[in-house]
Amino acid sequence: MPGRPARPEAGAVTTSLAPPIIETRGLTKRFGSRTAVADVNLIVPAGCAFGFLGHNGAGKTTVIRLLTGLTQPDSGTVVVGGRPLAGHRAEVLARVGAIIEEPRFHHHLSGRENLRVIAAVRGPQARRRIEPALERVGLADRAGDRVGAYSQGMRQRLGIARCLLADPRLIILDEPMNGLDPGGILGLRGLIADLVAEGRTVFVSSHLIDEIEKTCHAAAVIDRGRLIAQGPIAALLGDGGSSLEDWFLALTSRVGARS
Partner 1 sequence: MSRALAGPMIAADILKLRRHRPTMAAATALSVGVTALYLAVILARHNGQLPGARTLGDGTSLMGLYFGSFAAILIGTEAGTIDVTAGVFRDLAATGRSRTALFLTRVPAAIAVALAFTLSGFLLTVAAAFAFHGATPVPGPGLIAGSALWVVLATAVITALAVGAGSLTGSRAVTLTAIIGWQTVASGMLYLATFLGAARDLVLVFAVSRFQPGPAIGTRVNPGSTNALNNLKLPMPAVTAVLVILAWLIAAAAAGAWRTRTRDA
Using CB under 8 A as the criterion, which residues of the chain lie in contact with partner 1 when the complex forms? Answer: 65, 68-71, 89-94, 96, 98, 100, 103-109, 113, 116-124, 127, 162, 166
Cβ–Cβ < 8 Å for 41, 25: yes
State which residue, 109 or 249, has the beta carbon closest to partner 1. 109
In the complex with partner 1, the residue whose CB is nearer, 106 or 254, is 106
Rank residues 166 and 208 by Cβ distance to partner 1 and give the closer one.
166
Q: Are 87 and 246 in contact (CB under 8 A)?
A: no
Minimum CB–partner distance for residue 60 and partner 1 (Å): 16
Asked if residues 76 and 24 have their Cβ atoms less than 8 Å apart, the reply is yes
In the complex, least distance from residue 116 CB atom to partner 1, rounded to whole angstroms: 6
E strands, 124-166, are none
> Cβ contacts of residue 4 below 8 Å, gap of 6+?
243
Please, what is the minimum distance in Å from the beta carbon of residue 253 to partner 1?
A: 33
Contact 131, 140 (CB under 8 A): yes
- Compute the least distance from the CB of residue 175 to partner 1, in Å: 15
If the CB atoms of residues 8 and 103 are measured against partner 1, the closer one turns out to be 103
Phi/psi for 182 (5° steps) reads -55, -40
Q: Which 8-state DSSP code applies to residue 184?
A: H
In whole angstroms, the minimum distance from the beta carbon of 100 to partner 1 comes to: 6
From residue 15, alpha-carbon distances to 4, 72, 94, 217 in Å are: 22, 28, 24, 7
**Residue 108 Cβ vs partner 1, minimum distance, rounded to whole Å:** 5
Considering the complex, state which of residue 94 and residue 229 has its C-beta at the smaller distance from partner 1.
94
- Asked if 215 and 8 count as a contact pair (C-beta separation under 8 A), the reply is yes
Residue closer to partner 1 (CB basis): 91 or 135: 91
R_g (Cα) of the chain, nearest Å: 18
